[in-house]
Structure 1
Amino acid sequence: MNYFLTYFIYVLILSVIMGISTWKLFKKMGYNPLFAFVPFYNYFIILKETQHSKWWAALSYIPIIGPIMMTAFHVFLMKHFGKKSFVQVLLTIFLPFIYMAVVNYSKDTEVEVADDLYLTEDELVAKEKDTFAGSITFAVVFATIIHVFFTQPFGIPTGSMERTLLVGDFLFVNKWTYGFRMPMRPVALPFLQGTIMDTGEKGNPKDDPKSYVDAIKLPYTRLLQLKKPQKNDIVVFNYPQDSVHVAIDRKDPYVKRCVAVAGDVLEMKAGRLFINGKPEQILGDQQMQHKFIATTGSQLDIPALYKIYGFLPVQERQTQTGFEYDFQGLTDKTAKEIKELPQIIEIKEHIWDKDVAAVQFKANAARDAYTKNIDSTQSIFPVNKKWNQDWYGPLRIPKKGDVVNLNQETLPEYQWIISEYEHHHLENKNGKIFIDGKEATQYTIQQDYYMMIGDNRDASLDARFFGFVPEENIVGSPMFTWMSVQGLFTDGGSTYQADKKVRWDRMFKATNTGELHKTSYWWVAALILILFFGWDFIMKLFKKKEEEI
């Protein structure tokens, strides 16, 4: 059952419920009661009778937008029949079809005709409040349309993409770059990703109140997919192994660089990335960075270094002879400059030993505190390989149509694809593999997959830990940075934090071009402001024209 058929069924169900709840009210307004069952037209009549903009009816059943609009229309209808007290409005909002049905089947319910000439002072004040509330509601609706269907703001709280995207950067994400992924949970609160609030570290994240209704769902589909992610694209995607949210489009958003696409072979050698046997291409806005360990005779002035370099996650340990520092995300140039400090005895790049599995990092958590941020398995992907961040692969990225062999050795590589991403029932028992109840020794991949890795390779929870990213998890790509504040977030487990300051030079600059000198998008900011402040003016024009008609 495809997306639009499922959507149509939901619309029909809602229309039937709407008709059952309001058909007598439509009759009392002078219309054929069957019109209460007609999608869109039923709300068109309500807007016409309550003297609101009739074109709003077009928004009635749009995913995420529709529930907001329908709630407003229901309130309009109830007020048209004199149900305007605070309690009655609350009942209309939270129990819409039940309360409207009660009103619908009440014998004494009649249209309340009001003439502004005879309104009391209190009624005039109430009408002004309704007008103001309506303006706020439709301003929210306008912003929600932009957020859901065009572009979405995204903040950078961690340093995995340093120094391409900085901690404290705020981006606008283009949702049409790789085709628009239609919303899969159509009933949801606007502007919230997965949950309404965080219950804190002691609570179970699965118990956090969700911002969407999980029972009402639509299948994955993508519109106008003119291109797919390419190597070196910076991509925003939903974290594949988010165990809290089942809905794909409600999983936590991540941003990484797409280093390998479907069909590529990826390998890390001594911390250097190779794709299809060739060294990775370094773009103009990228800087190679690594983890360095510095030994000193006395304590370093880390706050002073923060002021110089801005981003400098560091772990400090006191030794018998001085101090030891783990620096993440240093470029060769920065490492050379730090080496010149008088306190430095030695500084060298840290490379993990070959054939040492990442799961062993767990035993070194006290020494390498940043590994606490790694996925709960504390392990590399796939879990049966003796790989780590610096020695990884070779690993072939699955491509749609690939036929892969299944056995106990290869299953860890494909089990998430089969059971979670392509939604089959997978069993592994008595040394045999079963898919949807049938024994299987092969499997055909049903969609393309990608490897997303951070530019700051030694401080990035990325595809080396959570594995392949399915195409259906792709959200879009960053367009530009609209705000950038240094020191807004603490990253890398560091106890130090840079002073807060606005990075004016990064604001409204393109983020996904690969060029060192990026295009400015100040004109987009001006356009957004014009649209925002022009909304109320446009609404007044529509209302004035309707009144003239």
Structure 2
Amino acid sequence: MSLQAILGNFALILFILTVGTGIIWFLDVFHLARQRRVRADAALAEFDARRARLQAEGLKVEEGDRSKLEADILRQPTWIEYSGSFFPVIALVFFLRSFLYEPFKIPSSSMVPTLVIGDLILVNKFTYGVRLPIINKKVIDINDPQRGDVMVFKYPKDPSLDYIKRVVGVPGDKIVYKNKRLTVNGKEISYEPLPDYLDEEHLSYSKQYMEGLSATPHRILNDDRAPAYVQNPDPFPKRELCSYNLEGFTCTVPSGHYFMMGDNRDNSLDSRYWGFVPDENIVGKAFFVWMNLGNLKRIGSFQ
């Protein structure tokens, strides 16, 4: 693994810090602290013997000198003190991010209007099963991704990158996207027109619809200026399960894989272009915007 990949993998950095500070903490508790105690006892015994001699000679010895001597010897070195302080904090953060909830920041407009640039979101790491950190191997099955879920996953072409899209197809589904409308397993998905969506950054409008992909409908955008066909899809794995034409495409989702699309349909590089997402790439289910510094009204759950 390259240095750049390591620096880009925060979970790996946390793991290394947790292990490193943990080793130092355990070493200190079960070995170094005992050594300091032995040295302190020896020094105090020598101090007491010297004080007894001085007292026998009629000289006065300050009691505070004994306490200071003991404290100085038992004091942890700075590097051990800091490691011991940071270890429980780093370990807790590592556990929370690895098995419960992980924060992400939305970097692009591919999920507008559901999620916008600058949204800080929380991802549930255990909804789809418990996975070992770093290697992302599932060890406990809980739930499978469902159509309509907003999911974070490792980008199949570069697993060091995290992507977020909506689950459109689950294993075995036949997905037809024709003239910017979805059909799943022969069932046409409903589209309810909504007022046009204003992109305040580019000062342009897009067609907005309420898409009934799941029991909980969600909003999607279409750009009338963009063509219906997929331009230059990659030769991704299992590409033979997809066919493309001027009106869109048809794909059958293979076992253990998912078909992902952004809600900003004409401004999203997704499974239409780079293919299916394997189960081992799943990170978790996005469910909550916990902060957006530019718009505090964005805080809350989303579909």
| TM class, shorter-length | 0.5 to 0.7
Shift of 1:157: 0.6
1:469 to 277, 288, 295: 277
The amino acid of 1:79's aligned partner reads: L
2:27 to 71, 74, 89: 74
1:172 to 101, 116, 122: 122
Shift of 1:457: 1.0
Contact map agreement 1:154 1:171 (CA 8 A) in 2: yes
Looking at structure 1, the residues matched to 180 and 137 of structure 2 have their Cα atoms a distance apart, in angstroms, of: 36
Shift of 1:468: 0.9
2:224 to 328, 349, 366: 349
* 2:88 pairs with 1:231: no
Structure scoring higher RCO (CA < 8 A, sep ≥ 6) equals 2
**Greater strand proportion:** 2
2:206 to 309, 326, 330: 330
| Residue matched to 1:545 | none
Shift of 1:68: 4.1
Paired positions, count: 252
Match runs of 1:138-157 below 5 Å:
138-157=88-107
RMSD of aligned C-alpha atoms? 3.9
| Residue matched to 2:48 | none
1:457 to 265, 271, 281: 265
Match runs of 1:179-194 below 5 Å:
179-185=129-135
Shift of 1:391: 3.5
Q: Classify the secondary structure of the residue corresponding to 2:239.
A: coil
| Residue matched to 2:184 | 275
Q: Classify the secondary structure of the residue corresponding to 2:89.
A: helix
Contact map agreement 1:358 1:378 (CA 8 A) in 2: no
Shift of 1:143: 1.6
Looking at structure 1, the residues matched to 70 and 191 of structure 2 have their Cα atoms a distance apart, in angstroms, of: 72
1:358 to 231, 234, 252: 231
Q: Deviations over 1:159-184 (max 9, x none)?
A: 11000011111111111111112225
The amino acid of 1:394's aligned partner reads: T
Q: Classify the secondary structure of the residue corresponding to 1:475.
A: strand
Shift of 1:117: 2.6
- In the alignment, structure 1 segments of 5+ residues that lack a partner are 1-62, 84-109, 186-218, 246-250, 291-308, 315-326, 334-347, 360-374, 400-447, 486-500, 515-549
In the superposition, the TM-score normalised over structure 2's length comes to 0.68
| Residue matched to 1:220 | 137
Contact map agreement 2:152 2:162 (CA 8 A) in 1: yes
The amino acid of 1:331's aligned partner reads: K
Match runs of 1:9-408 below 5 Å:
65-66=18-19, 68-76=21-29, 79-80=32-33, 112-113=39-40, 117-119=67-69, 126=76, 131=81, 133-185=83-135, 220-223=137-140, 225-242=141-158, 251-281=160-190, 309=198, 311-313=200-202, 330-332=206-208, 349-352=224-227, 358-359=231-232, 382=239, 387=244, 391-399=247-255
Contact map agreement 1:171 1:480 (CA 8 A) in 2: yes
Contact map agreement 1:68 1:141 (CA 8 A) in 2: no
Looking at structure 1, the residues matched to 172 and 235 of structure 2 have their Cα atoms a distance apart, in angstroms, of: 27
Change beyond 3 A, Cα 1:235–1:181:
same
Change beyond 3 A, Cα 1:141–1:82:
same
Shift of 1:276: 2.0
The amino acid of 2:27's aligned partner reads: H
Identical pairs, percent:
29
The amino acid of 1:143's aligned partner reads: V
Change beyond 3 A, Cα 1:262–1:459:
same
Change beyond 3 A, Cα 1:358–1:129:
closer
